[in-house]
Chain A
Amino acid sequence: MAHQAHSYHMVDPSPWPILGAAAALLVTSGLTMWFHYNSPRLLILGLLATILVMFQWWRDIVRESTFQGHHTPMVQKGLRYGMVLFITSEAFFFLGFFWAFFHSSLAPTPELGGQWPPVGIKPLNPMEVPLLNTAILLASGVTVTWAHHSITEANRKQAIQALLLTVLLGFYFTALQAMEYYEAPFSIADGVYGSTFFVATGFHGLHVIIGSTFLLVCLLRLIKYHFTSNHHFGFEAAAWYWHFVDVVWLFLYIFIYWWGS
């Protein structure tokens, strides 16, 4: 094996970037086939390919870091910057949907009855399930911090308990939100209220699922002794992402659920 005179990581040649791009092609053209020709076959193929690529790419990163030791402090710094920039881009993504919400809700048009919520819309009671969901996410923020402290203090048992609790809270949120979606008296097709509500909360829900999955992977790695008390960036990245998801929910709850009802 060639020895490097620098502390950066020159990765082995990998097929995942191009296969990931191919998977993205299949997903997008699959969507087209589904919308226009009512055939979900290509979409399913694309989603399957995407999942396979994601699994193998991230598996390789675990191998490169935990098993091969390539994640020096310099490399970790780059990963930190990367995660921060990614989360920032996601914040801007949500900002767009909040802009759309405020555009329509701050100055409701005559077509809506000049009011918000529009005439005929029966909004969800913010003091019922949405409030419970807020409590769940806030609690999960506490448990993930507890897990982090346990990891840095090398307390394996508590770290596993806390991270498990965090993952369970995440899944509980998703289950409750799915039930809310099913029971809601309005749909995405109910004018601009329906559109802004379901697109904003829908993308948030997707991010909760992504975040919960990331945390679950971290839990499995924690159980398999991958993390040390000094070096556990994968977990930190998951925790940052989770806090971001929590903050987005707080904005959704305050402005869309509460102020908008």
Chain B
Amino acid sequence: VYLLFQALRQISQRTISTASRRQLENRVPENQKLFQEDNGLPVHLKGGAKDSLLYRSTAGLALFGTMYTLYYLLVSSMPKKPN
């Protein structure tokens, strides 16, 4: 029974597996290293490829939307053709 109890105690104190443990550890120092690297990248692109993808999607959406808006504003300001 004592051994059973010890086993139970060990299971309840079992350490979290490596993959999920990384999510609970302090990753600030690695981020500090990444974002202070002397690579000339501006902060909005310094995180890597994901940054560029997100930036380009946002800029693309904004540009497309602006063109769409100007088109619709132009159309809306035209007088309607009489029947």
Contacts and interface: CB of A to CB of B under 8 A. Distances in A.
Given A14-B43, A15-B55, A67 B34 contact: yes
A81 interface: no
Nearest to A16: B44
A224 B24 CA distance: 7
B54 A52 contact: yes
Contact of A60 (B27, B28, B43, B76): B43
Interface of chain B, helix or strand or loop or mixed?
Answer: helix
Interface of A: 1, 11-16, 19, 22-23, 25-26, 29, 33, 36, 42, 45-46, 48-49, 52-53, 56, 60, 63-64, 66-69, 224-226
Contact of A63 (B47, B65, B72): B47
A29 B61 CA distance: 15
B57 A29 contact: no
A22 B43 contact: no
25 contacts: A11-B43, A15-B55, A22-B62, A22-B65, A23-B65, A25-B66, A26-B62, A26-B69, A42-B68, A46-B65, A48-B61, A49-B58, A52-B58, A53-B62, A56-B55, A56-B58, A60-B44, A63-B35, A63-B43, A66-B28, A66-B31, A67-B28, A67-B31, A69-B32, A224-B27
Nearest to A45: B65
A68 B61 contact: no
Contacts of B58: 19, 49, 52-53, 56
Contacts, number: 88
Contacts of B79: none
A45 B58 CA distance: 10
Interface string B39-51: 0001110110000
Interface residues of B, number: 30
Interface string B55-81: 101110111111011001100100000
Nearest to B35: A67
Interface of B: 26-28, 31-32, 34-36, 38, 42-44, 46-47, 54-55, 57-59, 61-66, 68-69, 72-73, 76
Given A67-B35, A226-B28, A14 B42 contact: yes
A49 B62 contact: yes
Contact of B62 (A23, A225, A226): A23
A63 B37 CA distance: 13
A32 to B, nearest CB: 8
Contacts of B43: 11-12, 14, 60, 63-64, 68
Given A14-B42, A42-B65, A68 B36 contact: yes
A53 B58 CA distance: 7
A219 B59 CA distance: 29
A26 B38 CA distance: 37
A174 B56 CA distance: 34
Nearest to A70: B43
A212 B61 CA distance: 28
A45 B55 contact: no
